[in-house]
Amino acid sequence: MRKLFCTLLLSAATTTFFAQTKTEKFVDNLLAKMTLEEKIGQLNQYNGDWGATGKITPDGDKESQIKQGKVGSMLNVTGVDKTRKLQELAMQSRLHIPLLFGQDVIHGFRTTFPIPLGETASWDLALIEKSAHVAATEAAAYGIHWTFAPMVDVARDPRWGRVMEGAGEDTYLGSKVAIARVKGFQGNGLGNVDAVMACAKHFAAYGAAVGGRDYNSVDMSLRQLNETYLPPFKAAVDAGAATLMNSFNDINGVPATGNRYILREKLKKEWGFKGFVVSDWGSIGEMIPHGFAKDGYDAALKAITAGSDMDMESRCYRDHLKQLVADGKVPVALIDDAVKRILLKKYELGLFDDPYRFCNEERQKAQENNIENRKFAREVGAKSIVLLKNDAVKGQPLLPLSAENKTIALIGPFMKATIANHGFWSIAFPDDSTRIVSQYDGIAHRSNGQSSIVYAKGCNVNDSDRSGFAEAIEAAQKADVVVMSLGEAHDMSGEAKSRSSIRIPGVQEELLKAICATGKPVVLLVNAGRPLVFEWASDNVPAILYTWWLGTEAGNSIADVLFGDYNPSGKLPMSFPRTEGQIPIYYNHYNTGRPAKDDADKLYVSAYIDLDNSPKYAFGYGLSYTHFDISNLRLSSDKMAVRGGKIGVTVDVKNTGNYDGEEVVQLYIRDLVGSVVRPVKELKGFKKIFLKKGEATSVSFQLTPDDLKFYNNEVQLVNEAGEYNVFVGNSSQASLAGHFSLVN
């Protein structure tokens, strides 16, 4: 504690000695005027008027507490009328310090976009950045200053419901997407009325919860933590993320909220993070049931000491910090540091200039139904869809649907669904179905004049009612082609939505089998917030599109792909297991001392005796209506110097099919021998390119020693001279290879 105290004093002194910025001067002056109670107030965040993801603590009269300067921030208050009213109360406090309004703006706001995992399947960073920016613009117009996004947790276990909120299993892709989302949310900088503060969450390793069970423990080596789970956070911090949020889990026995190693050592010291850390909902108080803190007093002590700055909903700071200071357990400097971080952000947002800066009725009105944003959401939706399979029926790939299909049967419980298309975590207007384009409407509208439509729901999402089967079979029999929309319910993924079975629930697969038995060609749309297991469908249905949850324009995006107005280009951001028995499954695993091959004898090798090791669909996989040949891999040199070296990697890509289209060209490396074992493949670059049919181009990447660094057994980030393979292709199963050496 003494060491920490001295460091804080030293850093305060250093800031005063060297030129202070105007902002810091303002904040220091304000801090000097604040009482301890007022300081503690800044660290206190209350929930507003929306449903909660955890226990709500009764607060008595929140409004009078705001007037007394006992509240620094509110979450879940939507709409400028409401934020203005509360801000007016804050302006009655002694020092007139404005409130911060935060909310989970996870994948859109008024206009919803594909769930983040789905959007990541676009592998289109500019698109992802723009969608975050649109969300920020809409949210800021509704009075929000701060989104609790992006979630940058690497997640290798699809049983975990929160995989839908992130960018999937890969550290490299996850880091790039983290940067895009932070930049999108924060736009041209805090203080602009179309920017909100980003919050990289959940710090850290939440995605590695044992058994994929939400809120569960995490136990892993520090090497793994640093190499796989922390880099997306570092990337978000380097991109300027204003805030971070704690995670609920413990890491190797120490809850993340009270974890000095990740908060003080890594984040605030090593990475030089200048923003602030908010707890997750009640996570300071949850250190008591964790068995890490004796009571609220102890929890507050451990959280503030570790480096958690703002208390979301646990009340531990509000109720115990003053006593902790009086008892000499918490130096005021520690509280000052946290308060200062929060005030700096309020200043940067321009709230001290104008606390009502984000309370503009006209701006809000303009974002109520922004047509341009909807058009963009349609594009993002189409680009997020992944074509998993497209077999030939009567000599032609089934998709895109040909005009010769005179009658199309639309079947399944999601065809006419509305709010389901929002997906989980669309909390600002969860029940507003008015602007959503259902899948039925999107497809019927597009096929107007070309084909006639018959419809049957067939069954519900998750029960055993088969009474609709007959009608669905009849509909299929009348049609030339069937489009079936099946999947898990939209609220079966998300927070607290871990599933032990990740199959399509209820009798939906049974219905699918009955429809396939009619002999009609079937296109399957899979709606889900995670990779699902659907082996029978994969093996028996000719065409499959993975459609996640696509948001406001879902139906139009799906129609664009079905009819070929957009040629699908999505690539999976997570490996899809064959069955749950393979979980956790991820492409960048180690080789082991007894590597197995799917098509070889499985005795005494690292394999299951009853199941192949490979996934059903690999990370990075996704088809197109056209075909791309990737060939002629060449390296600019077969040696790279550890100091300042670089190697160019180039391939030729040709669109050899019948449609214009986009391809994601992916580069992977393998470090053949290391002081610690290295993954069989690691993504180190990708480029999404567009080629007209028949067109060819070459695609180049550059590798530098930084791309080859890894954490050694002493948890140091190092380069080691040695031999490397490089692979380029259109999935993690890329086999086109080259070779080079890293030399000292």
Angle subtended at Cα 557 by Cα 551 and Cα 563, rounded to the nearest 5 degrees: 160
Quote the DSSP letter at residue 57. P
State in angstroms the smallest separation of the CB of 112 from ligand BGC. 17
Greatest distance between any 2 Cα atoms in the chain = 82
Q: Residue count at the site for ligand BGC (CB under 6 A)?
A: 9
CA angle centred on 144, ends 557 and 91, rounded to 5° = 170
Member of 38, 153, 169, 280 binding ligand BGC (CB under 6 A): 280
Closer to ligand BGC by Cβ: residue 184 or 620:
184
Closest CB to ligand BGC among residues 201, 497: 201
The residue written with tokens 């099946």 in the block is 486
Residues between 49 and 68 that touch ligand BGC (CB under 6 A): 53-54
- What sign does the CA torsion over 415, 419, 421, 424 have? negative
Q: Which of 124, 157, 280, 336 is catalytic?
A: 280
Report if residue 46 touches ligand BGC, rule: CB under 6 A. Answer: no
Q: Which helix (H) or strand (E) holds 119?
A: helix 116-120
Strands annotated E in 142-181: 146-147
At 492, list the tokens.
């079966």
Under 8 Å between Cβ of 564 and 519? no
Residue with smaller CB distance to ligand BGC, 79 or 350: 79
Q: Which is nearer to ligand BGC, 27 or 106 (CB)?
A: 106
CB burial string 485-521: b at 16+ within 10 A, e below? bbbbbbbbbbbebbbeebbbbbbbbebbebbbebebb
Distance, CA of 736 to CA of 733 (rounded, Å): 9
Which run of H or of E encompasses 80?
helix 80-90
Give me the least distance between CB of 420 and ligand BGC, in Å please: 21
- Minimum CB distance to ligand BGC, residue 430 (Å): 13
Helices (H), 226-370: 231-238, 260, 287-290, 296-306, 316-326, 332-348, 361-366
Cβ distance to ligand BGC smaller for residue 149 or 267: 149
Q: Does 281 bind ligand BGC (CB under 6 A)?
A: yes
SS (H, E, C) 692-741: CCCCEEEEEEEECHHHHCEECCCCCEECCCEEEEEEEECCCCCCEEEEEE
Tell which residue, 194, 165, 562, 233, has the closest CA to residue 349: 194
Check binding of 148 to ligand BGC (CB under 6 A): yes
Phi first, then psi, for residue 533 (nearest 5°) are -105, 125
Rg of the chain in Å (alpha carbons): 27
- Distance in angstroms (rounded) separating the CA atoms of residues 334 and 43: 12
Nearer to ligand BGC, 116 or 458 (CB): 116
Beta bridge partners of 457: none
Q: Which of 492, 490, 482 is nearest to 512 (CA)?
A: 482
The label of the residue with tokens 């500019």 reads 126
**Whole-angstrom Cα distance, residue 346 to residue 351?**
6
Q: How far is the CB of 139 from ligand BGC (least distance, A)?
A: 14
201 binds ligand BGC, rule: CB under 6 A: yes
Closest separation in Å from C-beta 161 to ligand BGC: 11
Residue closer to ligand BGC by CB (options 182, 651) is 182
User: In 3D, which of 110, 292, 75 has the Cα closest to residue 197?
Assistant: 75
- Based on CB atoms, which residue is closest to ligand BGC, 142 or 281? 281
* Least gap, CB of 223 to ligand BGC (angstroms): 27
Rounded Cα gap, residues 130 and 118, in angstroms: 15
Q: Round to whole Å and give the CA distance between 292 and 302.
A: 9
Give the residue with the Cβ less far from ligand BGC, 104 or 553. Answer: 104
Does residue 292 interact with ligand BGC by CB under 6 A? no
Closer to ligand BGC by CB, 160 or 724: give it.
160
Strand 396-397, strand 392-393: pairing: antiparallel
Which of residues 53 and 700 has its CB atom nearest to ligand BGC in the complex? 53
Q: Could you tell me the CA-to-CA distances from 274 to 176, 558, 658 in Å, in that order?
A: 21, 43, 52
In three-state secondary structure terms, 611 is: strand
Among 138, 495, 553, 560, binds ligand BGC (CB under 6 A): 495
How many whole angstroms from its chain centre is CA 449? 39
The only residue of 44, 77, 104, 497 in contact with ligand BGC, by rule CB under 6 A: 104
- Closest approach, Cβ 402 to ligand BGC, in A, equals 44
Three-class SS of 509-536: HHHHHHHHCCCCCEEEEEECCCCCECHH
In the complex, the smallest distance separating the C-beta of residue 281 from ligand BGC, rounded to whole angstroms, is: 4
Omega of the bond leading into 289 within 30 degrees of 0 (cis): no
Q: Is 119 in the site for ligand BGC (CB under 6 A)?
A: no
Strands 481-487 and 522-527: parallel
Q: How far is the CB of 201 from ligand BGC (least distance, A)?
A: 6
Distance in Å, CB of 54 to ligand BGC, minimum: 6
Q: Does 613 bind ligand BGC (CB under 6 A)?
A: no
- Smallest gap from Cβ 39 to ligand BGC, in A, equals 24
Residue 280 annotated as catalytic: yes
Minimum CB separation from ligand BGC for residue 252, in Å?
21
In the complex with ligand BGC, the residue whose CB is nearer, 78 or 624, is: 78
Q: Which active-site residues does the annotation give?
A: 280
Q: Which residues bind ligand BGC (CB under 6 A)?
A: 53-54, 75, 104, 148, 201, 280-281, 495
